[in-house]
Structure 1
Amino acid sequence: MTKDLQLPPGAAPDWTIPQDWDAYTPTEHATWDRLFARQGEMLRGRVVQAFIEGLDLLRMTRPGIPDFSELNVRLMAATGWQVVAVPGLVPDEMFFDHLSKRRFVAGRFIRKPEELDYLKEPDIFHDVFGHVPLLAHPVFADYMQAYGEGGLRAAKLGMIEELARLYWYTVEFGLIQEEDALKIYGAGIVSSYGESIFALDDPSPNRIGFDLERVMRTRYRIDDYQQAYFVIDSFEDLLAQTRDADFGPLYARLRGRPAIEVADVMPADRVLTGGTQAYARTKTSA
């Protein structure tokens, strides 16, 4: 929850700042290129095809970190979205407002070379490499806008925490069924080398068919690989379930029910993989 953040010096009232592309160092550009090459190669066969197609947007006329001014020309032409730079986390309602207007907020800093595999705060590689390719997909682009509109309503009803779980388990850590195989689409997975392998191959996590109410009741981890992933059938189905849902009665039900812990399997779950939770237990006992 980020509602109590203070507007940083130099930021506009909507929390945006100039990207200042010319200020990036050769080392920072080289870090982007290294991450892009490594992750782009290992994701083939593991990530949803729409993501691979969207990667073409990020191949700029200049090497290194994408210049948002060039990127936005391409993205606007594809789906009407654009990327705007922000100094870090933004308040919840400002985040939702940007999404509702087809603006994706991205941090402008990039991780250090010694931090390639782990970063506490999302950087430009996570935000742009992880999120932008699917913003070129018309249906997923519509889902993101609908999520922003729903977030503005949730803020008025005091249901941001529940809606945040939907974002976490779809936009950040979602899996999808494609051509009889599980594929990755969540940005938190695709921008992480380790989790790109763990999410599909490791026997530890549960992999459960997507159910809107179930997802919005489920806690999540922010400090390590997920103990559960939710699997959608298609972006079209995800959009239909969320855009056409009457969230008023859903929120009423959620208010009266306890949250589900990250590793729990419920009787009504459509379990694709019943995880061993061995990885999480190892980390707990360490």
Structure 2
Amino acid sequence: MLHQAIAHNDPATPPHWSDYVVDQNWSAFSADDHAVWDLLFTRQVDLLGSRVVTPFLDGLDLLRLSKPGIPDLAELNRHLTPRTGWKTVAVEGLVPDDAFFAMLTERIFPIGNFIRRREELDYLEEPDCFHDIFGHVPMMVDPRMARLMEHVGHLGTAAIAAGRGVEIARLYWHSAEFGLCRESGEVKILGAGLTSSFGEAHFSVEDLQVARVPFTVAAAMATPYKHDSFQPLYMVSQSLDITTDAICALDPAMF
């Protein structure tokens, strides 16, 4: 599925997604934690340049993410929620897919309440708050991605109940996480896993050997992915509008 998730304390009691929510405890972040965020933010913005879709850059500005230091989620939500109804919450780590998709149905997005160490700047297997905030949240300001993410939640919830959750995990991965997208005649970065990755961002759009194939819902749902290395292929959406409409046209009852 998406990743290995954190365990729930009482496996006999099916957890609600809210059971995974914790206090961000923003005041506990050290000066070095904030410095790591600033370093990651500056070098990633410089790296992305014009390689990323315009709504991502618009989101950075509208959410005021250039402000130094790790964002306080309460302040972040004051800018995000009035625009598209999305809200961020803190979690200790990866949540199970059923809880994750349930969060999306309510326009809730989980944010890891930790940040990588300096020696892990270029690779971290478990996504931290930099990946979650910098990678995902700017696009949630865009009504199309806001709608896409919520609908993926409904699809994922239905698919897991039918024992087919992997299909929607793949759909999510090849669009919102590691998708590319055409914009103004160029192939640009769309997915959060790429926007937040120093190594894979330019690789995904500039490497001459990696496969880039057209995004279709059917192909995305049928194509496995890797979560511990660069992707062997990237799916390219014709446009954000087209991909959003294609995904949102899927009926959860299909599962």
**SS, match of residue 106 in structure 1:** strand
- Secondary structure at 1:5's aligned position in 2? coil
1:30 aligns with 35
1:117 to 122, 147, 155: 122
CA distance in 2, matches of 1:132, 1:38: 18
Unmatched segments (≥5 aa) in structure 2: 11-15
The alignment's C-alpha RMSD in Å is 2.0
Task: Name the structure 2 match of 1:43.
Answer: 48
Report the alpha carbon displacement of residue 245 of structure 1 after superposing the two structures with TM.
2.4
- Counterpart of 1:150 in structure 2 is 155
C-alpha spacing 1:82/1:189, structure 2 compared with 1 (3 Å): same
Aligned-partner SS, 1:105: strand
Identity %: 44
Task: Check the 8 A contact 2:5/2:93 in 1, yes or no.
Answer: no
1:1-286 matches, within 5 Å, as 1=1, 5-7=7-9, 13-59=18-64, 63-246=68-251
1:25 shift after superposition: 0.1
Q: C-alpha separation between the residues in 2 aligned to 1:46 and 1:230?
A: 16
> What number of residue pairs does the alignment pair up?
248
Q: CA deviation at 1:3?
A: 7.7
TM value normalised by structure 2: 0.92
Residue identity matched to 1:21: W
Q: Which has the larger radius of gyration?
A: 1
Aligned equivalents of 2:70 and 2:62: distance in 1? Answer: 12
Instruction: Work out whether residues 52 and 190 of structure 2, in 8 Å CA contact, stay in contact via their aligned partners in 1.
Output: yes
One-letter amino acid matched to 2:102: D
Q: Give the secondary-structure state (helix, strand or coil) at the position aligned to 2:88.
A: strand
SS in 2 for 1:193: coil
Shift of 1:63: 2.5
Distance 1:17 1:73 in 2: 19
Contact (CA 8 Å) 1:3, 1:93: kept in 2 or not? no
Partner amino acid, structure 1, of 2:97:
D
Secondary structure in structure 2 of the residue aligned to 1:34: helix
Query: Could you tell me which residue of structure 2 aligns to residue 262 of structure 1?
Result: none
Compare 236-245 and 53-62 and name the one that shifted more: 53-62
Aligned equivalents of 2:172 and 2:9: distance in 1? 24
> TM-score normalized by structure 1?
0.82
**Alpha-carbon distance change, 130 to 61 in structure 1, aligned in 2, over 3 angstroms:** closer
Distance in 2 (alpha carbons) for counterparts of 1:169 and 1:12: 24
State how far apart, in whole Å, the 2-side matches of 1:62 and 1:238 are.
32
